Structure 1
Amino acid sequence: MDFDFSAILLALTVVFGVVWGLDRLFFYKKRAARFAASGEEYRDPAPVDWARSLFPVIFVVLLLRSFVAEPFRIPSGSMMPTLDVGDFILVNKFAYGLRLPAFNNKVLSVGEPKRGDVIVFRFPGYICQDQNGNTVRSGDVTCADPQAPVPSQNWIKRIIGLPGDTIEVHNSQIVINGKPVVDTELGPFQGNPSRPEDNYLLYNNGTVWSEQLGSVTHQIARIPSLQTPSIPNPSVPSVVPPNCYIVMGDDRENSQDSRWWGCMPEQNLVGKAFVIWLSWKGLHTGGVDFHRIGTVIR
Structure 2
Amino acid sequence: MKSVLFIVNPFSGGIDKSALLDSIESFAQEHHYRYSIYKTTGSADLEQVKELIAELNPAVIAVAGGDGTILTAVNAVFGTPTSIVIIPVGSANGMAKELNVPMDINKALALIESGKDLLIDLLDINGKICVHLADVGLNAKVVKRFEQDPNRGLWIYGKYVFRELFQLRINRFSIQLPERKIRRFAVSMIFANASKYGTGAVINPVGSLTDGKFELCIIRQFPFWQFFVLAYKAFFGKFSDSEYVEIISTSQVTVKASRKTLLQADGEIIGKVSTIVIKVLPQSVSFLVSSV
- TM-score, reference length from structure 2: 0.28
* Greater C-alpha Rg: 1
Give the structure with the larger strand fraction. 2
Give the structure with the larger helix fraction. 2
- TM-score, reference length from structure 1: 0.27
